[in-house]
């Protein structure tokens, strides 16, 4: 698994790219797991979590078995109402909520589809069901978008240092959508993640003239 180190005000932010929509971060002696899923990593060997962020209820994001393997006494789990109804534990955050948990500021950002829909006509991710999260780690704001398109709430974000944007078609964003959003909210470092078979080089090409946005490609199919 690839890792990146980004300097933070209380030491390094270490990001581990586990796969798909699954991440792990370490900062200030805290271990943060994002959408831990057994199919993406061996959670018997992962460090226990201080904080777990669950974006939505789909099985490639909410895996109770993986969560249970990295829970310890005091682990805080942040999740949506639908996820809580399935898992029966954790701190519920609705779109727009802000909380301080373990000394970290966490903001829940909407995550939903506008364009991409099921054959039935409903969106793959209805508005209000899922969250993205902005987590403030010292002097850095990290945005984990969850499964979403380039929605207005994303474009209105400010001062994002690190962003993870999904491009797994047809469920989330095309490279054009991800580029459109990035040009609006201007993350300093952009990681496309959860991108399946989408060609990440298209996003790199679309943002090649945006010197204020550093696009980093990691193995996050």
Ordered by start, the domain boundaries in the chain are 2-215
Over residues 31-81, the pLDDT tens digits come to 999 999 999 999 999 999 999 999 999 988 999 999 999 999 999 999 999
Over residues 154-187, the pLDDT tens digits come to 999 999 999 999 999 889 999 999 999 999 999 9
Choices 3.60.15.10, 2.60.120.10, 3.30.43.10, 3.40.50.300: CATH for 2-215:
3.60.15.10
Which residues, other chains included, contact 210 with Cβ-Cβ below 8 Å and sequence gap of 6+? 182, 183, 186
Taking the alpha carbons at both ends of the chain, their separation in whole angstroms is 12
Confidence of residue 121 (pLDDT cuts 50, 70, 90): confident
Q: Distance (Å, rounded) from C-alpha 197 to C-alpha 30?
A: 32
C-alpha 23: how far from chain center: 8
* Helices of type H across the chain: 64-70, 81-87, 152-155, 175-185, 200-206
pTM: 0.96
Whether the pLDDT of residue 221 is over 80: the answer is no
Encoded tokens for 191: 């990681």
pLDDT score recorded for residue 119:
83
How large is the greatest C-alpha to C-alpha distance in the chain, in angstroms? 49
Mean per-residue pLDDT over the chain, rounded? 95
Over residues 56-69, the pLDDT tens digits come to 999 889 999 999 99
Q: What is the DSSP letter of 115?
A: S
* Preceding peptide of 170 cis, ω within 30°: yes
- Cα dihedral 154, 106, 20, 185, rounded to 10, equals 20
């Amino acid at each position: 698994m690839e890792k990146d180190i980004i300097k933070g005000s209380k030491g390094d932010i270490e990001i581990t790219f586990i796969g798909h929509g699954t991440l792990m971060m370490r900062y200030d002696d805290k271990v943060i797991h994002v959408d831990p899923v057994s199919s993406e990593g061996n959670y018997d060997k992962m460090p226990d979590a201080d904080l777990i962020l669950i974006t939505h209820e789909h099985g490639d994001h909410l895996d109770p078995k993986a969560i249970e393997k990295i829970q310890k006494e005091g682990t805080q789990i942040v999740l949506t109402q639908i996820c809580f109804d399935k898992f029966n534990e954790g701190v519920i955050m609705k779109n727009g909520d802000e909380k301080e948990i373990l000394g970290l500021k966490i903001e829940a950002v909407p995550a939903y589809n506008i364009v991409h829909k099921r054959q039935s006509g409903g969106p793959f991710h209805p508005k209000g069901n899922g969250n993205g999260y902005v987590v403030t780690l010292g002097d850095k704001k990290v945005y984990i978008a969850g499964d979403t398109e380039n929605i207005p709430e994303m474009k209105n974000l400010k001062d994002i240092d690190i962003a993870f944007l999904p491009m797994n078609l047809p469920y989330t964003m095309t490279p054009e959508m991800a580029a459109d959003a990035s040009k609006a909210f201007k993350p300093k470092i952009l990681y496309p993640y959860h991108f399946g078979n989408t060609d990440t080089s298209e996003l790199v090409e679309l943002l090649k003239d945006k010197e204020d946005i550093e696009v980093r490609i990691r193995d996050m199919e």
